[in-house]
């Protein structure tokens, strides 16, 4: 078994660039309807990310609402150097980090986190952990969620942004404010953890020999 993954972490489409620019221009004029279109396009995706980061439905709903409130209040400062999606996920990521710090939570750390992520020159293959041959059932979905929950926030963030949101390394680096090399190493460690946990389940279930 070379790859592991889950179908429901597949990438989703985003607003095209021309539409995004038009909506942002309208939002800068305090057009609530235009901002509503942005919310409609992204709130489900932001909520899914925040929910997996905070592991609490109530907190996730609160933080997701705060993401869009902050976005509307600060849209005049959005300079367009990154995509609207990157900007929204940067806000979401920062709010999740702040919420975790305030709660003084210490996320579960997998032993692989101890590996160095400082070498920006290190290169990892871009193989995805999405086995089309695997049919997801409720039990396997639960195992995947458990694997996500036992990762550190740093690893879970890059895994979700890359494999769920289909963000490029550079886009993730902009969203979480780390070098591209760090994104690559964290993604490698996240996938290794996922493969260990989910692979163990599949072996016990007799689906992998």
- The pLDDT tens digits for 31-45 are 999 999 999 999 999
Mean local confidence (pLDDT), 12-32: 85
Which pLDDT value is given to residue 34? Answer: 94
Q: Which two tokens stand for residue 102?
A: 């305030």
Mean local confidence (pLDDT), 172-191: 95
User: Would you list the domain boundaries of the chain?
Assistant: 17-102, 107-204
Which pLDDT value is given to residue 104? Answer: 66
Which pLDDT value is given to residue 145? Answer: 84
The confidence band for 5, taking pLDDT boundaries of 50, 70 and 90, is: very low
Mean local confidence (pLDDT), 53-73: 93
> Considering only CA atoms, which of 75, 83, 99, 94 is closest in space to residue 25?
75
One CATH from 1.20.1250.20, 1.10.340.30, 3.90.1170.50, 1.10.10.10 for 107-204: 1.10.10.10
Mean local confidence (pLDDT), 192-199: 85
**E strand or H helix that includes residue 195:** helix 180-204
Residue 172 burial by Cβ neighbours in a 10 Å radius (0-12, 13-18, 19+):
buried
Q: Does residue 130 register a pLDDT over 80? A: no
Which pLDDT value is given to residue 12? Answer: 53
- Cα dihedral across residues 89, 93, 98, 99: positive or negative: positive
One CATH from 1.10.1740.10, 3.30.1360.70, 1.10.3720.10, 3.10.20.30 for 17-102: 1.10.1740.10
The DSSP secondary structure of 21-53, one letter per residue, reads: HHHHHHHHTT-HHHHHHHHHHHHHHHHHHHHHH
Higher pLDDT: 87 or 82? It is: 87
């Amino acid at each position: 078994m070379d790859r592991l993954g889950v179908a429901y972490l597949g990438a989703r489409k985003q607003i095209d660039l021309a539409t995004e620019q038009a909506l942002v221009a309208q939002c800068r004029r305090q057009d609530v309807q235009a901002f509503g279109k942005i919310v409609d396009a992204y709130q489900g995706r932001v909520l899914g990310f925040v929910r997996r980061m905070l592991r609490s439905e109530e907190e996730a709903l609160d933080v997701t609402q705060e993401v869009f409130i902050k976005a509307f209040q600060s849209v005049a400062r959005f300079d367009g150097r990154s995509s609207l999606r990157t900007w929204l996920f940067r806000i979401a990521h920062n709010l999740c980090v702040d919420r975790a710090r305030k709660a003084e939570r210490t996320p579960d750390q997998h032993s692989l986190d101890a590996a160095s992520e400082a070498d920006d020159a290190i290169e990892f293959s871009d193989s995805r952990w999405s086995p089309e041959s695997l049919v997801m059932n409720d039990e396997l979905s639960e195992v995947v969620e458990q694997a996500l929950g036992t990762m550190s926030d740093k690893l879970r963030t890059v895994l979700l942004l890359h494999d769920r949101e289909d963000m490029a390394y550079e886009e993730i680096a902009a969203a979480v404010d780390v070098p591209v090399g760090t994104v690559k190493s964290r993604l490698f460690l996240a996938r290794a953890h996922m493969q260990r946990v989910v692979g163990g389940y599949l072996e016990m279930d007799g689906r992998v020999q």
